[in-house]
Amino acid sequence: MIKLSGITPSGTAHLGNYLGAIRRWATRSEPEDLYFVSNMHAMTTKHSAEELRLLTSHQLAVLVAAGVPKEQLFVQSDLMREHMALAWILECTCTFGEARRMIQFKEKSQGSASVRLGLLTYPVLMAADILLHGTARVPVGEDQNQHVELARTLARRFNTDYGEVFVVPEAVLPEAGARVRSLSDPSRKMSKSISDDGGTVYVLDEPDVIRRKFRRAMTDSRNEVRYAPDEQPGVANLLDILAACQDSTPEHVIQGIGSYRDLKEAAAEAVVTTLSPVRERALELLEDKVELAQIRQEGADHARKRSEERLNQAIFLAGLV
Ligand code: ADP
Ligand code: TRP
């Protein structure tokens, strides 16, 4: 049962990405699973080439530093020919209505006069990412569930119309409440797509920057350390973060914490302890361009080899050879 997931370098990785995705990829992966930096998905709106290049390296370095096995990692554009070849076949399998119905497309295109075609077709590229590698399970956030559904639909349709070649994938969604929220506005999730530097803790933030962000975290005026996500979302978020970093539960970590100040300090220290080794290793990798380039090359070669036969078969079944 191959698991595959991607992370788009539309910004730098943050604590939410780490606790909600990257750490699981590192600790729960089976040898056949694959993870990748979906840099081709970061250009559906106008982008800076230089920044994309840099963010792609950062993302790869963070994944390696977090312990995602290198041989199971690749950068999407290193397999651009493969992913795009299948994306075209799947674009010709997908209807315009299906693409237009994607919630993310509707939301992101609204009010924009210059919507790129890529914003409409990127879920089809995502289907290609998934189907190319024989993926059975796709760990993603809720917002990507509809795209995995589309991948299912396209896999079934192609299999029926042209011949069995694709595994029909299934989304694996995070448990309810597994969302890290912004430190400055606990009604929102921590996200790299929103500019919220004070509320977002980045994996590469220096320890003192992390401590400062926690000191300024928004709580409430009750001055009561309780785990009540609906009434005290800021406090609950800090408890959730502390618990996640210590592999514990909010109910357990709350013991012994008497004030908001103690809670902020405890959460900050837990995050610093969790992220420091990842940050240090990632910075080392970013210094040593040769090692990172080699990891990238080997990961790409490995992923390409694994996908070759399936792609050739799809090209054949579609009547292209
Ligand atoms: P972002 O909103 O920061 O752009 P993505 O949509 O690229 O994040 O998500 C990448 C991965 O990180 C997904 O698996 C998603 O579920 C996870 N993730 C993103 N934000 C959070 C968060 N605040 N808490 C927990 N997991 C998150
Ligand atoms: N679109 C996903 C996101 O923004 C990232 C992604 C691209 C992905 N291709 C994928 C996730 C394939 C899972 C499988 O989060």
Domain CATH for 275: 1.10.240.10
77 lines ligand 2 (CB under 6 A): no
Task: State which ligand 2 atom lies nearest to the alpha carbon of 5.
Answer: 13
Q: pLDDT 10s digit of each residue in the chain, 321 long?
A: 999 999 999 999 999 999 999 999 999 999 999 999 999 999 999 999 999 999 999 999 999 999 999 999 999 999 999 999 999 999 999 999 999 999 999 999 998 888 999 999 999 999 999 999 999 999 999 899 999 999 999 999 999 999 999 999 999 998 766 799 999 999 999 988 777 788 999 999 999 999 999 999 999 999 999 999 999 999 999 999 999 999 999 999 999 899 999 999 999 999 999 999 999 999 999 999 899 999 999 999 999 999 999 999 999 999 999
> Tell me, what DSSP letter sits at residue 25?
H
Domain count, the chain: 2
Centroid of ligand 2 to alpha carbon of 7 (angstroms): 6
185 domain-assigned: no
Q: How far is CA 286 from CA 67, 215, 222, 291, in A?
A: 15, 29, 44, 9
Domain membership of residue 253 (yes or no) is yes
- Mark whether 216 and 299 lie in a shared domain: no
Output phi, psi for 209, to 5 deg.
-65, -40
Task: Domain of residue 166: give its range.
Answer: 4-178+289-317
Ligand 2, residue 123: give the atom nearest the CA.
Answer: 1
Q: Which residue's CA is the closest to the ligand 1 atom numbered 22?
A: 16
In 110-249, the DSSP E strands lie at 137-139, 170-172
Binding site membership of 6 for ligand 2 (Cβ less than 6 Å): yes
Q: Are residues 140 and 36 in the same domain?
A: yes
Q: pTM of the prediction?
A: 0.96
Nearest listed ligand to the Cα of residue 37: 2
H or E stretch including 6? strand 4-7
CATH code: domain of residue 95: 3.40.50.620
Q: Which of 12, 17, 22 to mutate to test the pocket of ligand 1 (most atoms within 8 A of CB)?
A: 17
Ligand 2 centre and the CA of 2: distance in Å?
15
For a ligand 2 pocket test, name from 3, 41, 45, 149 the mutation site with the most ligand atoms within 8 angstroms of its C-beta.
41
Ligand 2 atom index nearest CA of 10: 4
Residue with CA closest to ligand 2 atom 15: 7
Closest residue by Cα to atom 6, ligand 2, is 6
Mark whether 151 and 214 lie in a shared domain: no
Residue numbers annotated as active site: 108, 189, 192
Q: 92 and 210: one domain?
A: no
Ligand number, closest to the Cα atom of 42: 2
Axis crossing angle, helix 260-287 with helix 289-317, rounded to the nearest 10:
80
For residue 63, count other CB atoms closer than 10 A to its CB.
28
Structure tokens at 62: 């963070």
User: DSSP assignment, residue 37?
Assistant: E
The pair of structure tokens assigned to 228 is 């009540």
Residue nearest atom 12 of ligand 1, based on CA coordinates: 17
User: Which amino acid is residue 7, in one-letter code?
Assistant: I
List, for residues 174-218, the tens digit of each pLDDT value. Answer: 876 679 999 999 999 998 877 778 899 999 999 999 999 999 999
Judge if 74 and 203 occupy the same domain: no
Give the number of the ligand closest to the Cα of residue 202.
Answer: 1
Burial label, 76 (beta-carbon count in 10 A; 0-12, 13-18, 19+) = buried
Query: Is the CB of residue 126 below 6 angstroms from any atom belonging to ligand 2?
Result: yes
Whether 241 is covered by a domain: the verdict is yes
Tell me: do 25 and 170 sit in the same domain.
yes
Q: Which ligand is nearest to the CA of 176?
A: 1
Phi, psi at residue 114, to the nearest 5°?
Answer: -125, 60
